[in-house]
Amino acid sequence: MKYNEEINRRRTFAIISHPDAGKTTLTEKFLLFGGAIQVAGAVKSNKIKKHATSDFMEIEKQRGISVATSVMCFEYNGVQVNLLDTPGHKDFAEDTYRTLTAVDSVILVVDCVKGVEEQTKKLMEVCRMRQTPVIIFINKMDRDGKMPFDLLDELEQNLKIKVRPLSWPINMGSSFKGVYNIYDQTLQLFQAKSKDDEKMLIADLSDKLLDREVGEADANQLRQDVELVEGVYNQFEVNDYREGHLAPVFFGSAMNNFGVRELLETFIRISPTPLARETDKREVAPTEDKFSGFIFKIHANLDPRHRDRIAFMRVCSGKFERNTFYHHVRLDKDVRFSSPFSFMARSKSLVDDAFPGDVVGLFDTGNFKIGDTLTEGENMTFKGIPSFSPEIFKEVVNKDPMKTKQLEKGLQQLTDEGVAQLFTQNLGHKKIIGTVGELQFEVIQYRLLHEYGASVSFVNLPYYKACWITSEDKVKMEEFCRFKQSVLGNDKEGNLIYLAQSEWYLNTERTNNPAIKFHFTSEFKNDEEQY
Ligand code: G4P
């Protein structure tokens, strides 16, 4: 197959949602359709259960299993679908944000009963920041949820994106009868746990067939609703979606396998093929013949007898080949990989080559950190793999001064892996760990002890956000730094950060210091209004 054809037949995406909305169920249905798994329930056991809040070992065990399902590949209608898994547990949200840097589009699952939830908003903010195309799947239509028009308004308002329904439900809950596909003009009638989703072509909604199938009252309601949809929402333009300005919306029920196949088929039809990516030097097109790629995730083996790690690399251009030397830009050295692997649902297999959009697993002995770039020699680094402001901050207390070196090394390596962020506060040179979830502190404590022999405890710190600060006004910046010494520090790369005690403090500082810019991600791009 020609190189361009290989690129054009790839779709790399993630399914994201607030915990419990149905991400795992939908993933599983996709895998069943793609023939990547044969039985339902196979994916379930791999997810980090959101209910396990403090059983760290259990979670790590599940995390271990989840390596195999970090990327799930399958073929559907000749298209190679690379589905990147994201952790279900909210404490691993940062993992999810990073995975989003490696995809070309996402499917966002929303529970029709709960509507937009906290995590839905945060995930959408990350997508918006990167202009990632989003398709929204409103799930659990077999339950009595919010009214469809209300849900659409809620999506537009809370997620700050224009939406366009491409399907429309006929009732919901116990009287849910089916979904009319506005895009294809087909009607699909609901049967709980339906396997074969027979569709009926209803090109003209005034067709009496509709009344016979769903009853006159529901048929009339559907006619009115669709008329309203057509009146309120603009015609669907695929480019608006691909540019990240418009989210098409589908309704269905993942558990009942309803509306899932049409979602998958529409997704394959409209979703973008591997996109060009920005580096610090230039934009890299997938069609370039020289290979380039970046590391977006590192997974450590927790077994102390096997200290290897797996680095997940997204191929951005050219063809990646096994046993070929590539340039590790940050370390300025050439490296080659004798056993890179790809993923096929639950199993890993050795790969000889990979194309743009593919994700390759590389065995790593500590050479990689998140965001590292590999090329055929060009010195450039992929952008858009930022750190986000953590939400929980704790000071690291070294309980065994004899192990200071080990602690330093452990903290460096764990934070390279992206388990947490490390800051040094100006005042007293305190080492501060920042995360988005409590669970990471358990992970860090356990791993520092078992892998590096360093024993630590943590002291809670009253911070709410760490903001990266910049200013074009040198004098104002120096003045701010002089006055705010105690709440300033640096991230691992030496960038200046401000530790805000609360939203109020942050807003006050912003108002009082208009010359200073407060950023919520380490890559300062259009992120002023984030969070
Ligand atoms: P997540 O990965 O987003 O966290 O969600 P998951 O798929 O695990 O789904 C969360 C719960 O919602 C599960 O129930 C699942 O069965 C249920 N669910 C998913 N899709 C639908 C749907 O279309 N309709 C209805 N009514 N429920 C749905 P659970 O009780 O937490 O797990 P389980 O005992 O069913 O495995």
The pLDDT of residue 303 = 58
Tell me which fold the domain 4-173+234-270 belongs to: Rossmann fold (3.40.50)
Tokens linked to 491: 């991230």
Asked whether 509 and 481 are in contact (CB, 8 A), the reply is no
Tokens linked to 164: 């366009």
Q: Mind listing the pLDDT tens digit for each residue in 104-158?
A: 999 999 999 999 998 899 889 889 888 999 999 999 999 999 999 999 999 999 9
Nearest partner of 142 among 49, 246, 46, 258, judged by Cα = 258
Asked whether 32 and 197 are in contact (CB, 8 A), the reply is no
Torsional class of 378: left (φ above 0), alpha (ψ -120 to 50), beta (otherwise): beta
Asked whether 421 and 492 are in contact (CB, 8 A), the reply is yes
Mean pLDDT, the chain, rounded, equals: 86
- State if residue 25 touches ligand 1 by the CB under 6 angstroms criterion: yes
Please give the distance, rounded to the nearest whole angstrom, from the Cα atom of residue 255 to the centre of ligand 1: 7
Tell me which fold the domain 277-375 belongs to: Rossmann fold (3.40.50)
Confidence of residue 467 (pLDDT cuts 50, 70, 90): very high
The pLDDT of residue 88 = 64
- Summarize the confidence of residues 247-271 as an average pLDDT: 92
Asked whether 74 and 264 are in contact (CB, 8 A), the reply is no
Tokens linked to 418: 């992206």
d(CA 438, CA 442): 7
**pLDDT exceeds cutoff 50 at 528:** no
Asked whether 292 and 370 are in contact (CB, 8 A), the reply is no
Cα 475 to Cα 394, 472, 481, 514, distances in angstroms:
31, 9, 10, 13
**pLDDT exceeds cutoff 50 at 530:** no
**pLDDT exceeds cutoff 90 at 526:** no
**pLDDT exceeds cutoff 80 at 62:** no
Q: Mind listing the pLDDT tens digit for each residue in 472-500?
A: 999 999 999 999 989 999 998 899 999 99
Please count the other Cβ atoms lying within 10 Å of the Cβ belonging to residue 201: 12
- State if residue 255 touches ligand 1 by the CB under 6 angstroms criterion: yes
User: What are the beta bridge partners of residue 82?
Assistant: 12, 73
404, 451, 86, 102: CA torsion to nearest 10: 70
- Which residue owns the Cα nearest ligand 1 atom 33? 44
Confidence of residue 63 (pLDDT cuts 50, 70, 90): low
Residue 198 burial class via C-beta count within 10 angstroms: exposed 0-12, middle 13-18, buried 19 and up: exposed
Confidence of residue 54 (pLDDT cuts 50, 70, 90): very low
| Most confident among 86-100, 274-288, 406-420 (mean pLDDT) | 274-288
d(CA 446, CA 55): 12
Higher pLDDT, 337 or 342: 337
The pLDDT of residue 58 = 58
d(CA 81, CA 268): 8
**pLDDT exceeds cutoff 90 at 447:** no
Nearest partner of 91 among 342, 327, 440, judged by Cα = 440
The pLDDT of residue 500 = 94
Q: Is 23 helix (H, G, I), strand (E, B) or coil?
A: helix
Instruction: Say yes or no: do domains 4-173+234-270 and 277-375 share a fold.
Output: yes
Which residues, other chains included, contact 105 with Cβ-Cβ below 8 Å and sequence gap of 6+?
11, 13, 132, 133, 134, 135, 267, 271, 272
The pLDDT of residue 56 = 52
Q: Which atom of ligand 1 is nearest to the CA of 256?
A: 23
Confidence of residue 365 (pLDDT cuts 50, 70, 90): confident
Confidence of residue 184 (pLDDT cuts 50, 70, 90): confident
**pLDDT exceeds cutoff 50 at 319:** yes
Nearest partner of 421 among 407, 442, 440, judged by Cα = 440
Tell me which fold the domain 392-526 belongs to: Alpha-Beta Plaits (3.30.70)
- Summarize the confidence of residues 71-82 as an average pLDDT: 89
Please give the distance, rounded to the nearest whole angstrom, from the Cα atom of residue 54 to the centre of ligand 1: 22
Q: What angle do CA 459, 463, 466 make, to 5 degrees?
A: 115
Please count the other Cβ atoms lying within 10 Å of the Cβ belonging to residue 341: 18
- State if residue 88 touches ligand 1 by the CB under 6 angstroms criterion: yes
Supply the DSSP symbol for 408: H
- Which residue owns the Cα nearest ligand 1 atom 10? 20
User: 284-288, 322-326, 393-397, 447-451 — which is least confidently predicted?
Assistant: 447-451
Tell me which amino acid residue 274 is: P
CA pseudo-torsion sign 176, 218, 269, 154: negative
- Please write down the HEC assignment for all residues of 128-164: HHHCCCEEEEEECCCCCCCCHHHHHHHHHHHHCCEEE
The pLDDT of residue 52 = 41
Domain boundaries, the chain: 4-173+234-270, 277-375, 392-526
d(CA 378, CA 144): 56
Confidence of residue 531 (pLDDT cuts 50, 70, 90): very low
- State if residue 17 touches ligand 1 by the CB under 6 angstroms criterion: yes
Supply the DSSP symbol for 103: -
The pLDDT of residue 304 = 58
d(CA 274, CA 279): 16
Asked whether 85 and 105 are in contact (CB, 8 A), the reply is no
User: 62-66, 131-135, 237-241 — which is least confidently predicted?
Assistant: 62-66
**pLDDT exceeds cutoff 50 at 527:** no
d(CA 242, CA 271): 7
User: 46-55, 65-74, 268-277 — which is least confidently predicted?
Assistant: 46-55
The pLDDT of residue 302 = 57
Residue 389 burial class via C-beta count within 10 angstroms: exposed 0-12, middle 13-18, buried 19 and up: buried
d(CA 84, CA 68): 11
Tokens linked to 344: 């096929």
Q: Which atom of ligand 1 is nearest to the CA of 252?
A: 23
- State if residue 24 touches ligand 1 by the CB under 6 angstroms criterion: yes
User: 94-98, 138-142, 282-286 — which is least confidently predicted?
Assistant: 94-98
Supply the DSSP symbol for 120: H
User: 29-43, 355-369, 381-395 — which is least confidently predicted?
Assistant: 29-43
Q: Is 391 helix (H, G, I), strand (E, B) or coil?
A: coil
- Which residue owns the Cα nearest ligand 1 atom 14? 20
Q: Which atom of ligand 1 is nearest to the CA of 50?
A: 4
The number of residues in the chain equals 531
The pLDDT of residue 129 = 84
- Summarize the confidence of residues 169-183 as an average pLDDT: 88
pTM, full prediction? 0.85
- State if residue 21 touches ligand 1 by the CB under 6 angstroms criterion: yes
**pLDDT exceeds cutoff 90 at 466:** yes
